[in-house]
């Protein structure tokens, strides 16, 4: 293999292991399974040293997944080309349902050489941090809704009904504080459900406050403020939208943005 050739390296990344395969740029070259390595930085460094003896230029590719973008950032910081691709956009043969780590790595390397892969957008670390904060707020909101549902279902099951208009307002909260269940055991369950609602409410408020504070120093804060000029778009909605979209300049046309 020529020292000046390009090597396309497919990585099937998991929590504790990475399956590796590579193929040279030459058309007559065959894809080769390197084997499995660990996920420590030392394991990655050892892999790159060995592969650099086979080719001058290394191009890495792996699927986006629960392991995030740490490998992409580590490899690009070292000066290597690296793509992260969406699993849903990887071409697959009809009827091919056999899926192993080795086969996935081989397929990634082969498709990378043929140009059949499309990279996904990898956010900057600070952008991902705001996105994580926004998603944590969404998790807290879902947990709060679930806690409220459990409390209301418990009360309905025991025919304890609130006759007021709106729930979770001061009048409803005062009514909840005066509820007495038929038995001491049920009173304990009721109080735990109420406590869960209160705890999730406080958690949601903390995350919203942190989100609003951190966005003030975010590089995309001007975009967040601009979005709030639209009717009905408040700070939380604007931050969530911009954090999920990332750098808007990556879209060439409004049509691409709306398609995304």
For 169-225, write each residue's pLDDT tens digit.
Answer: 999 999 999 999 999 999 999 999 999 999 999 999 999 999 999 999 999 999 999
Helix (H) or strand (E) holding 33: strand 32-37
How high is the pLDDT of residue 248? 87
- For 43-59, write each residue's pLDDT tens digit: 999 999 999 998 889 99
Average pLDDT over residues 118-137: 95
How high is the pLDDT of residue 93? 77
Q: How far apart are CA 199 and CA 242, in angstroms?
A: 28
Q: How many CB atoms lie under 10 A from the CB of residue 186?
A: 15
- For 67-78, write each residue's pLDDT tens digit: 999 999 999 999
At residue 1 the predicted structure's pLDDT band, cuts being 50, 70 and 90, is very low
Whole-number mean pLDDT of the chain? 93
């Amino acid at each position: 293999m020529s020292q000046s050739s390009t090597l396309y390296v497919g990585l099937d990344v998991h929590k504790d292991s990475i399956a590796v395969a590579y193929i040279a740029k030459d058309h007559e070259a065959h894809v080769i399974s390197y084997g499995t390595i660990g996920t420590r930085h030392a394991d990655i460094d050892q892999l790159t040293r060995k592969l650099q003896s086979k080719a001058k230029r290394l191009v890495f590719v792996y699927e986006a997944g629960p392991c995030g973008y740490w490998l992409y950032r580590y490899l690009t910081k070292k000066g290597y080309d690296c793509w992260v691709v969406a699993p849903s956009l990887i071409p697959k043969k009809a009827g091919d349902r056999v899926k192993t780590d080795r086969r996935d790595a081989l397929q990634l390397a082969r498709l990378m050489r043929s140009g059949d892969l499309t990279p996904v957008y990898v956010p900057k670390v600070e952008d991902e941090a705001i996105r994580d904060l926004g998603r944590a707020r969404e998790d807290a909101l879902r947990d709060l809704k679930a806690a409220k549902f459990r409390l209301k279902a418990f009360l309905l099951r025991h025919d304890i009904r609130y006759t007021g208009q709106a729930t979770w307002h001061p009048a409803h909260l005062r009514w909840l504080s005066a509820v007495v269940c038929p038995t001491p055991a049920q009173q304990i369950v009721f109080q735990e459900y109420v406590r869960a609602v209160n705890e999730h409410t406080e958690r949601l408020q903390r995350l919203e406050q942190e989100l609003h504070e951190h966005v003030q120093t975010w590089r995309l804060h001007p975009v967040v403020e601009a979005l709030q000029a639209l009717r009905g778009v408040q700070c939380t909605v604007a931050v969530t939208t911009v954090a999920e979209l990332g750098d808007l300049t990556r879209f060439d046309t409004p049509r691409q943005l709306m398609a995304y």
